[in-house]
Structure 1
Amino acid sequence: MENPELTDKQRLFCIYYVRCFNAVKAYQKAYRCSYQTAASGAYRMLENDRVLPKKS
């Protein structure tokens, strides 16, 4: 949440994702888009190391 590299929408995605653990639903709420757009966007968001750092 405190990462200055994240955009406001990415932060919003993180908040929604932590609440529901459903990346597609979180992406739809943060970006207000269709299911199809959210499905591909959520995948990219989860792969983004700035949004969800990989555990070592």
Structure 2
Amino acid sequence: MLGDKIIEGIDLKKVNYILKYGLSTGVFAEKLIKRRNLKTIILLMENNKEFYFFTKSKI
């Protein structure tokens, strides 16, 4: 899957902050949340209200 390919080279256990703009369906955001260090701060931003509410219901 594309989301896996994008983050496979990133050591998410060492990342302090993640900014994700444009959540769409939230699949990629879910992967970031599951693989991150629990101390990592993730800021998720979505401008499209439909995508925002759809993703909010999933995460």
Same fold (TM over 0.5): no
Larger Rg computed on CA atoms:
2
TM-score by length of structure 2 reads 0.29
Structure with bigger RCO (C-alpha 8 Å, 6+ apart):
2
TM-score by length of structure 1 reads 0.30
Structure having the higher strand fraction is 2
